[in-house]
Amino acid sequence: MHTSTVGILGGGTMGAGIAQVAAMHGWMVELREVDEPTARRAVDSIVRRLDQLAEKGRLTPEERDDAESRLCLARCPDCLGDCELIIEAIVERLDVKAAAFRELLPSLRPDAILATNTSSLSVTTLGEAVGQPQRLVGMHFFNPAPLMKLVEVIAGERSDAAAVDRVAQIAQQWGKVVARASDSPGFIVNHVARPYYLEAFRILEAGHAAVEEIDAAMRDVGGFRMGPLELADLIGMDINTAAARSVWEQLGRPALLEPSALQERIVAAGHLGRKAKRGCYDYAVEPPAPAIEVERRPIELTGAERDLVARIAQRGAVKPGSDLQNYIFARILVCIFAQAAMACRRGVAQREDIDTAMRYGVNYPRGPFEWMRLIGPDLCDQWLAALAASSGSDRYRLAPLAEVAG
């Protein structure tokens, strides 16, 4: 049987994870790093994970051995000469990524596809910097790559359609679910997910609810696996704010995505989340304790607002909660819907791909469009209008969801 070979540039968090996925699905892997000891460490880390899977019975001893035998160190550019696909997962800098590809070009098969795992750079611009825009495709995995099901496949403006299709097919062969996106800031997930964090910080900053109340509402009422504030701590507050700022700037500063001043103050104080042992929570104690104090200004809902959020929770929540919980859930959720609608209008992706991306890339219990239809887009529009009226902010004055709900 003909065995396919993938070259992977970078054996850090993402590169090692992607290499593991490919090797476990029968592909030969040529892993290239900055030097041999670093490459060796990356392979060792993959082999340790294969051992753990074998110990848990998720891989048979033969499958473990086969996967290990497919991992090779690419000591020179020519080692990548057989590869059908090269995926780069190196530092997030366009010049470094472009130089890494350019160095390899003379050694590669003329039909080898080049793929980038970038989270924030333009696939089109990188393809042009490499000098081969038709061969370059975005192949965006999520961390940890062996566990997260989603791969966003991104067509650059000049990507060859056959190359894009082939990348999608390979991702599926590797057991992944594919969402296709155009080359736009944050692609799907890192774009549509922004209000999950931003609205949570706005509710916190306004003093309407405490850190743990916001997280609990989204978990218990919304059915999300993690609340937005604990998730921002896990991602890293610096990474999360940088993504927020970059998407906001690149999209022309839409009011809905305006970065949170409170979150930026948290970053400036060095409270970067779990990795710094402090963010929205203090991780020096067990269980972690809320670490952000704000002056409480309880929300006063009118009868009509209370009724709206109760109806939204009735239809869309796993379990409707208190007025405050329903308010938190309904407010954060419709802002995600609004962002999903904006992404759809801008041609970032189709509704089905946006739903797939949010379910498999960040484990949302439902895709935004499916959820919007379940609740009723008219009801969501009424709630956005109520938020616009009560806040006096343009942020919630948005094009009707009913037009794009599908």
Instruction: Mark whether 140 is an active-site residue.
Output: yes
Instruction: Mark whether 152 is an active-site residue.
Output: yes
> Looking at beta carbons only, is 32 or 180 nearer to ligand NAI?
32
CB of 57 to ligand NAI, least distance (A): 28
CB of 41 to ligand NAI, least distance (A): 9
CA distance 38 to 45: 11
> Looking at beta carbons only, is 11 or 127 nearer to ligand NAI?
11
Catalytic residue among 119, 122, 184, 326: 119
Write the DSSP symbol of residue 195: H
Catalytic residue among 30, 33, 88, 152: 152
C-alpha closest to that of 87 among 72, 100, 70: 100
> Looking at beta carbons only, is 273 or 377 nearer to ligand NAI?
273
> Looking at beta carbons only, is 41 or 345 nearer to ligand NAI?
41
Catalytic residue among 117, 122, 140, 370: 140
> Looking at beta carbons only, is 91 or 261 nearer to ligand NAI?
91
CB of 121 to ligand NAI, least distance (A): 7
CB of 10 to ligand NAI, least distance (A): 3
CA distance 153 to 141: 9
First-to-last alpha carbon distance for the chain, in angstroms, is 45
Instruction: Mark whether 190 is an active-site residue.
Output: yes
CB of 196 to ligand NAI, least distance (A): 16
Which SS3 state, helix, strand or coil, does residue 333 take?
A: helix
Residues that bind ligand NAI (CB under 6 A): 9-15, 32-34, 38, 89-92, 96, 100, 117-119, 141-143
CB of 103 to ligand NAI, least distance (A): 8
Pairing status of strand 136-141 against strand 113-116: parallel
**Concatenated DSSP letters of 261-318:** HHHHHHHHTT--BGGGTBSSEETTSSS-EE------------HHHHHHHHHHHHHH-S
Instruction: Count the helices and strands in the chain (H runs, E runs).
Output: 17, 10
Q: Which amino acid type is present at position 51? A: D
- Contact residues for 93 (Cβ-Cβ < 8 A; gap 6+): none
> Looking at beta carbons only, is 186 or 321 nearer to ligand NAI?
186
**Do the Cβ atoms of 364 and 337 come closer than 8 Å?**
no
The residues that bridge with 179 in the sheet, in sequence order, are 152
Q: Enumerate the active-site residues.
A: 119, 140, 152, 190
